[in-house]
Amino acid sequence: MTDQVNSTRVDAAALDAFCRAIFVGCGADEATANAATDAMMHGSRHGIDSHGVRLLDHYVTALEGGRIKKQPVIRFAAQLGAVGTLDADAAHGALAAYEGMHHAMEFAGKFGIGAVAIRNSSHFGPAGAFATEAAKAGFIGLAFCNSDSFVRLHDGAMRFHGTNPISCAVPLAGERPWLLDMATSAIPYNRVQLYKSLGLSLPDGTASDSRGIDVADPALADMLAPLGAAFGFKGAGLAGLVEIFSAVLSGATLSFDIAPMPGPDFSTPRDLGAFVMAINPEAFISRTDFDDGMRRYVDTLRNSPAREGQKVLAPGDREWAEADLRAIKGIPIDPVTEQSFRTLSGRFGVGLPFA
């Protein structure tokens, strides 16, 4: 999460309505407008600003250019029992991922587990949005996605994997889910763009130039480092796991063959892959025992000894706390995103969500 000191604060409801109206204004169908907005707002509400509403302008460009279809027809290309492969028909990635997760949840309700691979998709935003969708219904949710190459291998000096995120959300009785949402790169690519907009330096060991040498200036970043710094082989290995589930298993394009997210071609679909899974805990154990086990695990974790001046948090605690804060203070909009909103507002005749 970034302390956006130079940002405008915007009410979440107004921001949500603005994004939906812009998508409809550019010709996207209602399902696309709703899914894309829901995913972006998950990012912006929970402090994942790199995958929040700052993506609106990019998505409009991709929709108008033809990279993303405004009215896709998503269908199963294969289906057997509790698993299937969706052909997303160049849909917005969030629409494909939400639909895939809803199918996975339906399978899990029948069989105890459901898994859906997705091909012909596009950038889907924060993976945690789709894992959380399952957890809200009482399932364990997992979501993976590959993307265009921007991350070098450990000790590598070329772009190889995408940021290839992993997310898992687990229901926690009486409160919001245990939520892991992480890129397998040291930071996500969109965070480089966000730091550039905010005039901030990148953290050490997170990005490099074309020779693989670390840089702090986001303007000089040619590729990202894999998660793990000196132990980056672990991040590279996790990225490979995501690649196999998202692209190889679905028949989608591999990261190093995907057209770059920033263009210049915004007319050709990029065929990203994704993989979502839902697990019904009651297929393994009683709901009471599952809830008791999760409660003891999380309570013990949160109350475990911490280093001086620190506090141990469960995965998701930081994001939920940020969501509570932003519900009161509003959602920060960085200067570049604010300007893009003003342009979109004028083009589509939609009132700005801020004064």
In a domain, 3, yes or no: no
Per-residue pLDDT band for 133 (boundaries 50, 70, 90) equals very high
Q: Looking at the chain, which runs of residues are DSSP E strands?
A: 8-10, 75-80, 83-87, 113-121, 140-145, 151-152, 159-161, 166-172, 175-182, 207-208, 223-224, 272-279, 331-333
In a domain, 1, yes or no: no
Nearest to residue 42, comparing CAs of 127, 107, 105? Answer: 127
Neighbours of 11 (CB within 10 A): 15
Q: Specify the pLDDT at position 167.
A: 98
Instruction: State percent of the chain over pLDDT 90.
Output: 93
Q: Residue 25 above 90 pLDDT?
A: yes
Per-residue pLDDT band for 4 (boundaries 50, 70, 90) equals low
Of 22-36, 180-194, 226-240, 319-333, where does mean pLDDT reach its minimum? 180-194
Per-residue pLDDT band for 112 (boundaries 50, 70, 90) equals very high
Mean pLDDT of the chain: 95
Per-residue pLDDT band for 117 (boundaries 50, 70, 90) equals very high
**Domain coverage including residue 328:** 8-348
Q: Specify the pLDDT at position 88.
A: 98
Beta strands 83-87; 113-121: pairing state: parallel
In a domain, 53, yes or no: yes
Nearest to residue 312, comparing CAs of 295, 323, 298, 322? Answer: 298
| 188-233 confidence digits (pLDDT tens) | 877 888 888 889 999 999 999 999 999 999 999 999 999 998 899 9
Our CA dihedral for 117, 120, 124, 130, rounded to 10 degrees, sits at -20
User: Measured between alpha carbons, how far is 63 from 212 in angstroms, rounded to an integer?
Assistant: 34
Number of separate domains in the chain: 1
Instruction: State percent of the chain over pLDDT 70.
Output: 98
In a domain, 304, yes or no: yes
User: Measured between alpha carbons, how far is 31 from 71 in angstroms, rounded to an integer?
Assistant: 9
* Dihedral angle sign, alpha carbons of residues 206, 200, 122, 326: positive
Side chain identity, residue 269: P
Q: Per-residue pLDDT averaged across 99-112, rounded?
A: 98
| 276-308 confidence digits (pLDDT tens) | 999 999 999 999 999 999 999 999 999 999 999
The enclosing domain of 16 has a CATH number of 3.30.1370.60
Q: Residue 3 above 80 pLDDT?
A: no
In a domain, 30, yes or no: yes
* DSSP secondary structure of 17-52: HHHHHHHHHTT--HHHHHHHHHHHHHHHHTT-GGGS
In a domain, 355, yes or no: no
Q: Residue 1 above 80 pLDDT?
A: no
User: Measured between alpha carbons, how far is 307 from 326 in angstroms, rounded to an integer?
Assistant: 28
| 162-186 confidence digits (pLDDT tens) | 999 999 999 999 999 999 999 999 9
Q: Residue 5 above 50 pLDDT?
A: yes
In a domain, 173, yes or no: yes
In a domain, 353, yes or no: no
Q: Specify the pLDDT at position 339.
A: 96
- Residues 116 and 104 sit within 8 Å (Cβ to Cβ): yes
